[in-house]
Amino acid sequence: MVLGWPVSAAAHGVGPTADLQVAQTFAGNDLTIVLRRTSEVPGPLQVEVFAHSPVRKTTLTLTIAGQPDDAVVRLVSPGVQAAVLRVEGPGEHMLELRAGDQRATIPFRVLVDRLATWEIITYGGFAAAGLLIITSLGCAVVRRPGIRALAVPQAVAAVIALVVAATTAGLSKDMPPAVPDGAPPKSSLRGDAADGSAPNGRPYVNLRLRTEPANPQTGKDFDLELNLTDGSTGRPADDLVAHHAALIHTVITSQDGREFRHVHPVRTAPGVLTVRMSVRTPGKHLLYAEFERADSGAQLVRGSFEAAGPRLSPPPAEAEAGGTGGARAAGIGVQVSFEPQRVVAGRPLTIQAAVSADGRPARDLQPWLGMAGHLVIRDAEGNFFGHVHELASMAAQAQRAATRAPLQDETVAREGPTLRFTYTFPAPGRYLVWVQFARAFRIHTVPLTIDVAKGQP
């Protein structure tokens, strides 16, 4: 019965209780695509699309590559839209999103759990012990001497099975888990310094930026393309994994820091990620991109591009949503304080952002990118970049990951009202800081300027 029990599957190999969350800046919208864990394979795969305000009305077509069926999601307002697709088996799959001439692909993996060897021994041992005890008692009450003589050997066998099962169960924590069906092959990295690899690591990625058209103009849409290549082989780096609910986190700021974007380019080809956007500030724009490769750690790459044209005012929708002018939409207020009040280089600083809505503490903030809040840091010249997560939600996420509990998605609205961040500025100087959080499917951005004093030697 245990061996025949239906097993579950999970997207992206993050465990049988986990969903895959991937942020996408696509078709003019900030979206979070959630692939819910499946209950059986072959079977349905539920996909949910979270749209953040302001929403550009569009129709998304969702398809799993190689499958004939598709689903349509119409985005008309902030919130959640659901669709159901079908997966035929475990292993690697590709979710395709289409909207007009734009196309995005999200790689995901469906895993089907298998019983580990220790589970088979333990469950089988306990089952055999129970069966042997019952048959031993049955033999003991039978009057035939030959059958009655079998009672003792069966009782001894039951004890042996029980001991083996109990011992195996006790040692289970030191035994490797079973590799689920559909899991990727183990990494072949051996830590050979000659090829630039390291244990549980890969060579760094090189970034090349390209814009289409080549000379973007302020106020006009253009495609910003990030080409990622392996630093050792030069081949496309197409092994990005979901890292804090996105394949890649990209922050784009104008050189003067007045214009700020936190976007999530979509995968359009192996090693190629693209975002369609516009800027309102002429001149140089700085890009910082964070991602994580399979069997490796996180990496930060940076680049820049130029835009021409006049300086434009922010559109009303962005000004209302916060943009780089604060979080004033829908009666939102933010009071920022520092502890200690004097900011010194090399010393930890706690930044607190108390969020209010219509004059009352806002206790209904939503997690965005898995966290209640984000703190983005850049120095005045643009040579330094930092990204910090809110303390309480970061600890909660670590605890859920350790217990393999499902991570919260953006339907949960009980974060806040105070967001706390701890950071140590590495050097004195002026820093540009942006605090970001979400409420009612709207992402708010609060800009700050922090002057950091020189510490005592």
Q: Which pLDDT score, from 0 to 100, does residue 353 have?
A: 97
Residue 147 parent element (H or E): helix 145-148
Q: Which pLDDT score, from 0 to 100, does residue 330 have?
A: 60
- DSSP 8-state symbol, 325: S
Helix locations, 372-437, DSSP H: 391-402
Give residue 4's pLDDT band: very low, low, confident or very high (50, 70, 90). Answer: very low
Domain CATH number, residue 386: 2.60.40.10
Q: Which pLDDT score, from 0 to 100, does residue 13 have?
A: 35
* CA 231/CA 235 separation, integer angstroms: 8
Q: Are 241 and 250 in contact (CB under 8 A)?
A: no
In a domain, 2, yes or no: no
- How confident is the model over 291-315, as a mean pLDDT? 91
| Residue 169 and residue 217 in one domain | no
Structural tokens at position 127: 């089952």
Structural tokens at position 122: 């333990």
| Residue 135 and residue 249 in one domain | no
In a domain, 316, yes or no: no
Domain-terminating residue out of 112, 130, 152: 112
Helix locations, 301-451, DSSP H: 316-321, 391-402
* CA 211/CA 179 separation, integer angstroms: 43
In a domain, 35, yes or no: yes
**In Å, how far are 199, 241, 272, 288 from 299, measured between CA atoms?**
16, 12, 16, 10
Q: Which pLDDT score, from 0 to 100, does residue 321 have?
A: 37
* CA 307/CA 8 separation, integer angstroms: 50
In a domain, 185, yes or no: no
Quick one: which of 106, 102, 20, 105 has its CA closest to 58? 102
Give residue 129's pLDDT band: very low, low, confident or very high (50, 70, 90). Answer: confident
Percent of the chain with pLDDT over 70: 86
Mean of the per-residue pLDDT values for the chain? 86
* CA 388/CA 373 separation, integer angstroms: 9
Q: Are 225 and 273 in contact (CB under 8 A)?
A: yes
| Residue 23 and residue 102 in one domain | yes
Domain-terminating residue out of 137, 153, 174: 174
Residue in this structure with the two tokens 């895959």, named with its chain if needed? 20
Q: Are 321 and 440 in contact (CB under 8 A)?
A: no
Find the domain containing 169 and state its range: 117-174
Structural tokens at position 207: 């970034």
Handedness of CA 275, 228, 254, 390 (dihedral sign): positive
* CA 365/CA 8 separation, integer angstroms: 32
In a domain, 182, yes or no: no
Q: Which residues contact 153 (CB under 8 A, 6 or more apart)?
A: none
In a domain, 457, yes or no: no
In a domain, 1, yes or no: no
| Residue 56 and residue 96 in one domain | yes
Domain CATH number, residue 235: 2.60.40.1930
| Residue 380 and residue 347 in one domain | yes
* CA 19/CA 35 separation, integer angstroms: 6
User: Does position 429 have pLDDT exceeding 60, yes or no?
Assistant: yes
Instruction: Tell me the residue type at 131.
Output: L
Instruction: Tell me the residue type at 50.
Output: F
Q: Which residues pair with 33 in a beta bridge?
A: 22, 49
* CA 5/CA 336 separation, integer angstroms: 53
Q: Are 243 and 290 in contact (CB under 8 A)?
A: yes
| Residue 239 and residue 302 in one domain | yes
User: pLDDT, tens digit, for every residue of 20-41?
Assistant: 999 999 999 999 999 988 877 8
| Count of structural domains, the chain | 4
* CA 1/CA 234 separation, integer angstroms: 51
Name the least confident of 93-102, 392-401, 408-417.
Answer: 392-401
| Residue 43 and residue 135 in one domain | no
Q: Are 231 and 263 in contact (CB under 8 A)?
A: no
| Residue 329 and residue 381 in one domain | yes
Structural tokens at position 36: 């819910």
| Residue 282 and residue 363 in one domain | no
| Residue 106 and residue 124 in one domain | no
Q: Which pLDDT score, from 0 to 100, does residue 338 have?
A: 96
Give residue 408's pLDDT band: very low, low, confident or very high (50, 70, 90). Answer: confident
User: Does position 119 have pLDDT exceeding 50, yes or no?
Assistant: yes
Task: Compute CA 450 distance to the chain's CA centroid, rounded to the nearest angstrom.
Answer: 29
Domain-terminating residue out of 126, 157, 174: 174
Handedness of CA 185, 188, 191, 193 (dihedral sign): negative
| Residue 302 and residue 331 in one domain | no
* CA 434/CA 97 separation, integer angstroms: 30
Give residue 184's pLDDT band: very low, low, confident or very high (50, 70, 90). Answer: confident
Q: How many residues does the chain have?
A: 457
* CA 251/CA 243 separation, integer angstroms: 15
| Residue 142 and residue 236 in one domain | no
Q: Could you tell me the pTM of the whole model?
A: 0.83
Structural tokens at position 99: 């909207």
* CA 388/CA 420 separation, integer angstroms: 10
In a domain, 180, yes or no: no
